[in-house]
Structure formats: structure tokens, C-alpha cells
Amino acid sequence: MGTEVNLVLSGRYLVPMDGQPVLENVSVAIAGDTIVGIGPDLAARYPQAENIAVPYGLIMPGLINTHTHAAMSCFRGLADDLPLMQWLQEHIFPVESKLTPEMVYHSTLLSICEMIKSGTTSFNDMYLFAKEVARATAESGMRAWLGEVLYDFPSPNYGELENGFAYIRELFDAYADNPLVTITVNPHAVYTCSPDLLKRLSALAEEKDALYHIHLSENRDEVNTCRERYGLSPVQHLENLGLLTERVVAAHCVMIDDEEIELMARRRVKVAHCPESNMKLASGMAPVVNMLDSGLTVGIGTDGSASNNDVDMFGEMNTVAKLHKVARMDPTAMSAATTLQGATMAGAALLGARSRIGSLEVGKKADLIVLDMDQPHLTPVYNPVSHLVYAARGSDVIHSVINGRIVMRDRQLTTLNETAVLAEMERIGAAVRKMR
């Protein structure tokens, strides 16, 4: 075993998750892509391995962003302070119609830079030109679940709908054996997809044993539109079509009631909670405490940078915990431990990957980050988990490892040329200005 270990990370604190207590002065030993040891003095036990020691470091699982649109970083700040439907129909959809594959590729790289530098090691994405999202992801060493979003109307990527189905099948074929990129099926929403399209995509998800990732009950307008068309809420509509299953990853779920929550729990639907986007678009607040009480799996997502306007999961955790406290006027709601669970273990469960990621355990994939706790805003440390939710920032992450590979060392990305990515995005930003 000793000759197989190639990397040892050591720090002051280790937050393993999965119900385990915080450990002190221990190391993590990694062989290839897998954690093979957690304990004291592992650097001495494996002298041949590279040793990264941070005396005041905190080692924890990488964060899991359960709903985003990575390439929308090219629209960051483009159309702020607007309601969701006006934002989409008058600003986002028109400029998306002029997107190119290269724009999506470089914009995805930009979001990946931001995610790695703020502690995210896995993300769940739906967007246009998904082959370019997958290409950028594979090159970066990130772990992702991703797919092409489909609508009733022609797409700026594939054109007519039948081409979209062919495009998705090509994605499944191309990444069938990829250890880091998993393809998903992505109907946009019930107001942009007909019942027939929703059913066809569900059948494809069943065929491919894939997640069915959809925006659901994001705001009042969506719910009202669905009721006008079908006489049902979006959740009831999916249930009526026989599509509310354990494959469903439902993003947002802001406008749902207790009866729908219980139904979703029975169907084992998973929910991606994106509070900052919901707040900024004034969509409302998802009843997450009720969801958790019902047994629903709830992960945390940032949504895209066009409606957040960042993909920093530490910031999102801070918002999650505080928002639900004030909403319920209960300071015990959404504790730090519960919130951190949402960004790690629950995110892994949502993606069907709890056996591989989301906690630091021997036998799991080596997806982990190291924070520098030797800073004014993180001193003193009484409760490391509390600090991670209420005080830590994405910029506190100094090292990141994904699938056993160091993707950031001392705040420097190792798999991407950050300077080149930023320069390319300046050029793309200038092009987007001319599209408006």
C-alpha cells in the first residue's frame, strides 16, 4: 500500500461529514483517485508521497453545486433587477439566440475557474451547446453532471427538436465511460416543454439511467401559467404525467405547498435549492425546512452567474442558513451542520453519487479542499463547522483536489490558464455588448 500513496494532505482540522466529528491534527492519504487513509502522521508513513501540510489548514470534502448554468457567466450583470420572466424573455433568450460554441466553451471555463477557486469540486449543469460545456469540464479536471437543455421551440444550438435528441445521444455516447463527466437529461421547464416532450425526455432518462434535471415551480408566474394550461401546478402536472420519480432533480421549488412536498418525498424527488438567485429575481423562498422535515433530499446550488451573480458556494451556504432563520423567526432553523450537509453529502445524494463523493472516507474519491484558517475573520476557532457556514469565504480555499488530482495549489490553478481565460472573456464580453 505504501508505494501506491502519491499524495498526503495534512492540517489542523478535518471535517469528514457523514455524521462524523471534526478531527484534529490528522492527514488524508490518497492513492490515485481514492482516499486510502485518514489518521495522524501519514506523511511519515508514506515518505515517498507528495506532502502538502497546512499548519492551520482545514481539510473538508469539496462543495457540490447542484444547479447551475456555467456558461451564463458571459451574461453576468447583463440584465439585473428584473422579474424572472421579463429577464428571460426580453434579455436572456434574445442574446442566447446569438451564442456560439466557442462562447459557451470559454464562458464555462470562466465559471470553472471561479468554482475551483471557491471550493466547488462538482457541479450539476444544464445549458446550450453542452458538448462545449463537457469539453471545458473534461479539460479542467472538474467533476460534473451536465446535459443539453431542450425546449419546444428551436434551439440556437441544434435547431429543430429532433436534432436535439440526436445531439443528446451523441453526448451519452461520447462520455459513457468518462470518470468525471456524467450526462443528464434536461427539459427546461413545464412552461417551455410540452407534455409530449417531457414524457419523451423522461423515457430517455430511463433508457440511459440518467438524472432528469428540470426547473420546477420557480416563481408564481410559472405556477399560474401551468394552471392556466393544464389546470394543475407544475408538481401536480409532472405527477399527472407519471414523471415525478426518483430521477427528478427539481431546481428551485419555490412555489410548492406542504401537500406537494409530501408527494415529492414519497416519489423520492431531489431538490436543488438556489436562494440567492430566487432572492435576486424576487421569485420567493423555497420552504426548505419543511422539505427536510418531510425527508426530501435537498442540495444547494448557485444557479447561473447571470442571476446570482456568482458561483461561490460558501456565500450560498451563508445565505441558506440565515434566510431560513429569519423566514421562520427561529435562530435554530437551518443550523450550520444542516447547511453544510446540503452542500456536501446531500448534494452527492441528489446526484446519485453518495457512495463516491460528499464526505472524506477511506474508499471514496479524493475530492477535497483545504482552507487557510489562520486569518482574522476565522480566529479563534471554537466550532469549525460554524465557521465554514457563517465566516468562511470562497477565497479562503488554498488547495483543491478532484479525483486525486491537484487542480489548485496555493490559490493557483494547475489545470487551467486563468490569465488566458480572463483575457478571452474580455473579448467575449465586448461581443455580447454588441448583441444587445
Residues 142-196 have pLDDT tens digits of: 999 999 999 999 999 999 999 999 999 999 999 999 999 999 999 999 999 999 9
**Residue 275 confidence (pLDDT):** 98
Q: For residue 2, what pLDDT is reported?
A: 42
Asked if residue 416 is part of any domain, the answer here is no
- The secondary structure of 107-137 as a DSSP string is HHHHHHHHHHHTTEEEEEEEESSHHHHHHHH
**Count of structural domains, the chain:** 2
What CATH code is carried by the domain that includes residue 396? 2.30.40.10
Tell me: do 43 and 169 sit in the same domain: no
- Same domain for 156 and 294, yes or no, is yes
pLDDT in tens, 96-153: 889 999 999 999 999 999 999 999 999 999 999 999 999 999 999 999 999 999 999 9
DSSP state of 396: G
Residue 174 counted as domain residue: yes
Question: Is there a single domain that holds both residue 339 and residue 375?
Answer: no
Report yes or no: 152 and 192 within 8 Å, Cβ to Cβ. Answer: yes
Domain for residue 414, yes or no? Answer: no
CB atoms within 10 A of CB 52: 22
Domain boundary among 350, 379, 394: 350
How far apart CA 315 and CA 389 sit, in angstroms, is 8
Question: Which residue in the block uniquely carries the three cell numbers 473579448?
Answer: 427
Position 202 scores a pLDDT of 98
Question: Which class for 328: exposed (0-12), middle (13-18), buried (19 or more C-beta within 10 A)?
Answer: middle
Q: Does pLDDT of 3 surpass 60? A: no
Residue 82, pLDDT > 70, answer yes
Helix residue ranges per DSSP H, 241-365: 258-266, 275-280, 288-294, 313-328, 336-343, 345-350
Radius of gyration over every alpha carbon of the chain, rounded to an integer in angstroms: 21
Against a cut of 0.95, is the pTM above it? yes
Check whether 377 has a pLDDT greater than 50.
yes
Summarize the confidence of residues 349-364 as an average pLDDT.
98
Segments forming the whole domain that contains residue 82: 64-350
Q: In terms of domains, do 24 and 163 share one?
A: no
Q: Is residue 298 part of a domain?
A: yes
